[in-house]
Structure 1
Amino acid sequence: MRKCLSFVGTGELKPARYTLNGSLCDTTVIQKALAEFYHPDMITLFVTGKAKTNNLSTVITSLSEHPHTLIDIPDGRTESELWEIFDKISHAVGPDDEILLDITHAYRFMPFLAFLTALYIREVTGATLWGVVYGAYEAGEDFCDHTGQTRRISPISDLTSFITLVDWMMAVRSFVSFADARGMQAMVTASRIPGSISSPYPDTDPYETLTHLADSLRQFTAGIQLARPIEAANSGIEVMKHLANVRNKIHADFPALNPVLEKINEMPPFAQTRSSSPSWSTLESQLAIISYQVEKGLYLQAAELAREWMVSAVICHQGLFSSWLKETVRTDAEEALHALTIRKKRKNYKSSPMVRRLEQITGWEKIANTWQKISRVRNDLAHCGMREIRKDAKTLENNVLAIPGELENVYQELSKL
């Protein structure tokens, strides 16, 4: 159901000519104008005791042809009254409702409270926030209509773009906190850009430019979330390239996105270094990716990548840079690490050229310990705790948090050539 949530004011209802996109309505009651402009299925009136005494009868009379309902609310003088207002607004909305929020006569703090409540309702119940409007009586000029009545031209201001701003805030938070750019990509795809203005670049499409940036961001975070370090690094370079290309255009066309650009610009250095060519710097970049995954709570991905990182580190230590992705070479490196863990336990192990070179490292036992720890963490996570012997979630989390430091020590040992 399409509902208009509106507040009955306490002040004098003055004659106005409300305007919206070329339509006009002569009335003293904003709710009547909204009913004619937006055609909601129901108008829900929130009314305080004073508003009921002063203006309610006039408002109800003007809405005689429009479905409406009445909800009493307190003045909001105390915190408990504020929460009562929140509760009443919340209960006025169902999960399938589309809400038009009118804050024209919402007194003092009420617009702020109503807007936050509407956003809360949208996130919790699944209702749609159709729009936010304000009848700007004070913004117009007086004139005499054909009856000689003095009226004030009062444009209805559409504040709905601020909903988009809130959605961008949430999308940016997802990117910054959880390495998830899907929200930003969806906003750009839907052309939902807060505060957009006409482009001074007639030969370019700013939305297309933003699309390239958003798509590369999505590819970058997909690489992080799916533990694809090569793709993540390469996509990160594309992000920075598109960011450099569009910075001035976004500044001119979408000024509200400038803070977003700064957040993107804070991407870690590994996102700006191609890692398709194996080298010690490649391993260093991938170690930064693992740290980034741990920071963003991507524990399973970090553990999976950490295990593969150790295999790659051994391959680089052996000088087999060009063969680092070959299955046979990676299997040999895995077996060499396993051999070290067996030797540490003073048991018979299978030697090989790889093993013998690793044994020459002073800190080979530390490397074996780290391999064993990471393998156990990775296996425990991969099996989802469905084993008789398993770690609890808190212990696993602590073990994952320790991974970057453990790998840094391995890097220092193996890179000493």
Structure 2
Amino acid sequence: MANVYISFLGTNDYLLCHYQHQGNEPCPEPVRFVQEATVAMSCGSWGSEDSIVIFTTEEAEKRNWWDNGHCDRKTNAALCREGLKARLEKMGLKAPVRCVRIPEGHDETQIWAIFEKIFEEMKAGDRIVFDITHAFRSIPLLATVVLHYAKVMRAIQVAGIYYGAFEVLGDYQTVKDMAVEERIAPILDLGALDQLMDWTIATDRFIKTGDPGLVADLAKSQVGPILRESRGRNEAAQAIKKLSDTLKQFHLGLATCRGPELAVGARKVKEQATRCRGLDLHPPFRPLFERIEQRLDAFADDSLQAGLAAVRWCSEHGLIQQGFTILEETLICLVLTGVDGDPQDVTLRDVASQSFAILGKKIENCREKWQEPAKSNPEMVGKMIAFIRATAGLEQRMDRVRQARNDLNHAGYHRNAKKLGHAGSFATDLADHLDGIERLFRPDGMALATDSR
């Protein structure tokens, strides 16, 4: 793992300028090349294992990498100009500096060649500083794509993206007529745009798959250092870290079927997402937190609705085994709610489960065959059986849900197990069961669907 500085060199005859980064003092000596300023900012403490890479076309190398590359427009005489190579050598840097030739980028083949050249300079785990000031034509877009490709393929980290906004001073002739000490141009830090792309991808991953892993990784890599530096006092960093933690807990609750705690977990995520929306962040970040909040709107504090919302979530995110497990337990909640029982009462839950078994075995009138605790609660069993019978299709739904759950929980090790070629039907069966059960228990027939768009 090393530090790598990447920049592009253009062909213009650049004017002397004082560059200034984020309100700091302008660089004391005027420079022609913005790379002198961004290298001084970023690479001063780098060592021999790090590298500074300047990409140039053939024309840019001739005009600005080597000395005296420009000519007087009237006389055609060579102008005395130090090239970027000489300027960087005078900085006494320990990191080696290299010039890498790239094509002009006039066609698709050349653009892909540039992509490969940039990617070749990034090794596994490298920290990348990108100066895109003189990136020409499609290079800024290409650079963005390369960075995100390298994040996946080589786990690189983006330490900074900079742009020297020389143009704020005016057109070339206006700046040329300006006193050098008045030429102060800002260096813009575009790292927040890269972070926005990361958070957009992470949020999309969570919304579509339910996996909060990328959000957690971002919280650790981007927020963790801020919390350490501020000793935990940075409000925005605290809120985002808390959101990450609650997302992980919510996902863990679903993955391990923690039914009674799912509604509370969803509420905590929504509370933290709301808190993050109120932070003083760049405006595009706020809708991302709002999407997370909206995604959990279907989870209510009521155990019945929370259970159905959890099953819907599992159905939409590939947690099929968990979905069947939670669905069976939610059907028991439905029965208990129907007979004014407490869904949290473990004994009553056993009685409700056994009531389905009593109906299935047709032993309603053979109490000696009942098991405890149903045997000790015949009146409650009677109420539950009456409720199950009064609810069209409930007994049959429970039977099919239990068959699927048993098949899944026993990993297919029983006589009537589905073969792998038909295992895809578990997902469609779960969705079908959920739709049917929601129609049974919602007067309007509307599903407790969550918006995964």
- TM-score band, normalised by the shorter chain? 0.7 to 0.9
Contact 2:250–2:265 (8 Å) recurs in 1 = yes
Determine the C-alpha separation between the residues in 2 that align with 1:174 and 1:334. 37
CA drift of 1:161 comes to: 1.7
Letter in 1 for 2:353: E
Q: CA deviation at 1:136?
A: 2.1
8 A contact 2:266–2:296 mirrored in 1: no
Question: Structure 1 residues 90 and 389 mapped into 2: Cα distance closer, same or farther (>3 Å)?
Answer: farther
Superposed displacement of residue 165, structure 1: 1.1
TM-score (norm 1): 0.77
1:38-77 mapped onto 2 (5 Å cutoff)? 38-39=42-43, 40=46, 41-57=50-66, 58-64=83-89, 65-66=92-93, 67-77=96-106
| Bigger mean CA offset, 32-41 vs 110-119 | 32-41
Give the match for residue 35 of structure 2: 31
1:154 pairs with 2:185: yes
1:294 aligns with 2:321: no
Higher relative CO (CA 8 A, sep ≥ 6), structure 1 or 2? 2
Q: Deviations over 1:226-285 (max 9, x none)?
A: 3223322123334455566675x43x55533321243134234432x213xxxxxx3244
Residue 260 of structure 1 is aligned with which of 279, 285, 288? Answer: 288
Bigger mean CA offset, 287-296 vs 150-159: 150-159
CA 1:368–1:211 in structure 2 vs 1: closer, same or farther (change >3 Å)? same
Counterpart CA distance in 2 for 1:325 and 1:206 is 37
Cα 1:263–1:269, aligned 2, differ >3 Å: closer, same or farther? closer
1-structure distance, mates of 2:41, 2:442: 71
CA contact (8 A) 2:352 2:384 kept: no
Deviation at 1:143, TM superposition (A): 8.9
Question: Match for 2:136 among 96, 107, 112?
Answer: 107
Aligned residue identity for 1:43: I
Q: Distance in 2 between matches of 1:402 and 1:74?
A: 56
Which residue type is aligned with residue 326 of structure 2?
L
Q: Offset at 1:50?
A: 2.5
Task: Map 1:2-401 onto structure 2 (within 5 A).
Answer: 2-20=3-21, 21-22=24-25, 24=27, 25-39=29-43, 40=46, 41-57=50-66, 58-64=83-89, 65-66=92-93, 67-140=96-169, 152-181=183-212, 183-184=214-215, 187=218, 192=223, 205=235, 207-208=237-238, 215-241=245-271, 249-250=278-279, 252-271=280-299, 273-275=300-302, 282-317=303-338, 319=339, 321-322=341-342, 324-343=343-362, 350=369, 353=378, 354=381, 358=385, 366-385=393-412, 390-392=417-419, 395-401=422-428
Indicate the residue corresponding to 1:201 in structure 2: none
Q: Give, in whole Å, the separation in 2 of the partners of 1:82 and 1:167.
A: 24
The AA in structure 2 aligned to 1:22 is E
Aligned residue pair count: 389
SS at 1:402 equivalent: helix
Which string of whole-angstrom CA distances, capped at 9 and with x for unpartnered residues, describes residues 259-313 of structure 1?
1243134234432x213xxxxxx32441122112211222222122112223333
CA distance in structure 2 between the partners assigned to 1:27 and 1:339 by the alignment: 87
Other-structure match for 2:429: 402
Relative to structure 2, which stretch is displaced further, 86-95 or 45-54?
Answer: 45-54
Deviation (angstroms), 1:68: 1.7
Counterparts of 2:441 and 2:355 in 1: how far apart (Å)?
A: 14
Provide the residue aligned with 1:198 in structure 2.
none
The question of whether the paired residues in 2 share the 8 Å contact of 1:104 and 1:135 is answered with yes
Give the root-mean-square deviation of aligned CA atoms: 3.8
Q: In the alignment, residue 223 of structure 1 is paired with which amino acid?
A: G
- Report % sequence identity: 24
Contact residue 306 and residue 374 of structure 1 kept, 8 A: yes
Relative to structure 1, the CA distance from residue 158 to residue 361 in structure 2 (aligned partners, 3 Å threshold; closer, same or farther) is: closer
Deviation at 1:73, TM superposition (A): 1.8
Letter of the aligned partner of 1:371 in structure 2? M
* One-letter amino acid of the counterpart of residue 287, structure 1: L
How far is 1:169 from its partner? 0.9
Matched-pair contact (CA < 8 Å) for 1:99–1:127: yes
CA gap of 1:72–1:350, structure 2 versus 1, over 3 A, is: farther
| Distance verdict in 2 for CA 1:413–1:56, change over 3 Å | closer
1:102 Cα deviation from its structure 2 partner: 1.3
Partner amino acid for 2:311?
A: I
Judging changes above 3 Å, is the alpha-carbon distance between structure 1 residues 339 and 77 closer, same or farther for their aligned structure 2 residues? farther
Q: Please, which moves more after superposition, 66-75 or 100-109? A: 66-75
1:134 and 1:159 in contact (8 A); partners too = yes
